[in-house]
């Protein structure tokens, strides 16, 4: 059974570098480097900006007038910033901008056990499950050396304050005990997190995922263009994305991510399949897991959480 030696230290080093690269405390200009923030004469609010390309995002971030606090370079071209009402209007009219949306709270979603446990000899060896949640208590004996704290978008040390992430990690580990579990913390100790931090977590995964990988997002985020773009980017890169839903079975949304109420079960099932077919792209993997494209359900009841997630093209 192959072991993933040295991975935790590699991910921790990458996490520190990414935190420094994505958290932008001051506005930047290409010519002069760091400069002083513009004076604020009216109230500002947090927003997430999606640019029309990486060059456009780089140009926008380089303009001194935006108070950039995160810059995304992999999962999507864009950034998180504080804007006045006038600045918001200017960005929405800028041809370099695809979408601007308010930064908002992201909450953990409840999950449930599967109808039937997984059977067979597969263990998920050689795969990595990136758990995007409240963190993981990686020191628990049940994980052995299979879990580690990879990245903390909240600025902490990856500690799981609420236990939500650790519970999901435990269920996934029980069904795929040889898979590595990389904790990508995006939720705070109070329970919810922010859209900007969630995007930072997905950006980190997009930059650092290597080999057969599953990204697990047991959080909400319906209707977010930025989150939909980030999820689609992960899927295109070959990462199988599992999001939380409120319906039975496994469904594939237009962005290519899979949604289910039994999130850890599906993540473990994907890891076990990737053990046998490590080169499978997400579409092939979805078919192996008997996921189905859900279109009629969106029209029948668009208010349900799962349908909203699929309607937006991602979580």
Question: Which tokens in the block code for residue 259?
Answer: 């949604």
Read off the pLDDT of residues 163-219 as tens digits, 9 standing for 90 and up. 999 999 999 999 999 999 999 999 999 899 999 999 999 999 999 999 999 999 999
Read off the pLDDT of residues 300-312 as tens digits, 9 standing for 90 and up. 333 333 333 333 3
* The domain made up of 7-13+106-311 is a member of CATH 3.40.50.200: yes
Does pLDDT of 2 surpass 60?
no
Fold (CATH) for 21-103: Alpha-Beta Plaits (3.30.70)
Q: How do the domains of the chain map onto residue ranges?
A: 7-13+106-311, 21-103
Question: Which tokens in the block code for residue 302?
Answer: 């668009």
Q: Are strands 193-194 and 78-83 parallel, antiparallel or unpaired?
A: unpaired
Buried/exposed 161-193: b ≥16 CB within 10 Å, e otherwise: bbebbbbbbbbbbebbbbbbbbbbbbbbeeebb
- The CB density around residue 2, as the number of other CB atoms within 10 Å, is 8
pLDDT at 249: 78
- Model-level pTM? 0.82
71-85, 109-123, 196-210: segment of lowest average pLDDT: 109-123
Contact 177, 123 (CB under 8 A): yes
Contact 66, 60 (CB under 8 A): yes
Residues with Cβ within 8 Å of residue 231, at least 6 apart in sequence: 202, 217, 241, 243, 255, 256, 257, 313, 314, 315
Q: Do domains 7-13+106-311 and 21-103 have the same CATH topology?
A: no
CA distances from 142 to 101, 138, 146, 161, 173 (A): 41, 9, 9, 18, 8
Higher pLDDT, 226 or 112: 226
Read off the pLDDT of residues 141-155 as tens digits, 9 standing for 90 and up. 999 999 999 999 999
């Amino acid at each position: 059974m192959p072991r993933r030696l040295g991975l935790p230290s590699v991910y921790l080093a990458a996490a520190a570098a990414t935190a420094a690269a994505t958290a932008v405390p001051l506005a930047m200009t290409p010519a002069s480097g760091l400069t002083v923030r513009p004076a604020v004469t009216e109230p500002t609010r947090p927003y997430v900006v999606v640019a029309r390309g990486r060059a456009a995002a780089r140009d926008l971030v380089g303009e001194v007038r935006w108070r950039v606090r995160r810059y995304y370079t992999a999962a999507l071209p864009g950034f998180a910033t504080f804007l006045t009402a006038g600045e918001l209007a200017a960005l929405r009219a800028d041809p370099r901008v695809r979408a601007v949306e308010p930064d908002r709270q992201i909450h953990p979603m409840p999950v449930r056990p599967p109808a039937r446990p997984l059977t067979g000899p597969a263990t998920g060896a050689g795969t990595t499950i990136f758990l995007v949640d409240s963190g993981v208590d990686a020191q628990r004996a049940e994980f052995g050396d299979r879990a580690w704290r990879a990245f903390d978008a909240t600025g902490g040390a990856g500690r799981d304050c609420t236990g939500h992430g650790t519970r999901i990690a435990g269920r996934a580990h029980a069904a795929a005990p040889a898979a590595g579990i990389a904790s990508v913390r995006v939720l705070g100790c109070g329970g919810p997190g922010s859209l900007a931090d969630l995007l930072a977590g997905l950006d980190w995964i997009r930059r650092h995922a290597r080999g057969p990988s599953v990204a697990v997002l047991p959080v909400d985020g319906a209707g977010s263009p930025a989150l939909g773009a980030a999820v689609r980017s992960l899927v295109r890169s070959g990462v199988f994305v599992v999001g939380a839903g409120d319906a039975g079975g496994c469904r594939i949304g237009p962005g290519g991510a899979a949604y289910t109420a039994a999130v850890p079960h599906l993540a473990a099932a994907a890891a076990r399949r990737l053990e046998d077919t490590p080169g499978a792209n997400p579409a092939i993997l979805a078919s192996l897991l008997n996921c189905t494209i859900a279109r009629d359900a969106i029209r029948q009841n668009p208010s349900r959480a799962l349908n909203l997630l699929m309607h937006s093209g991602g979580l």
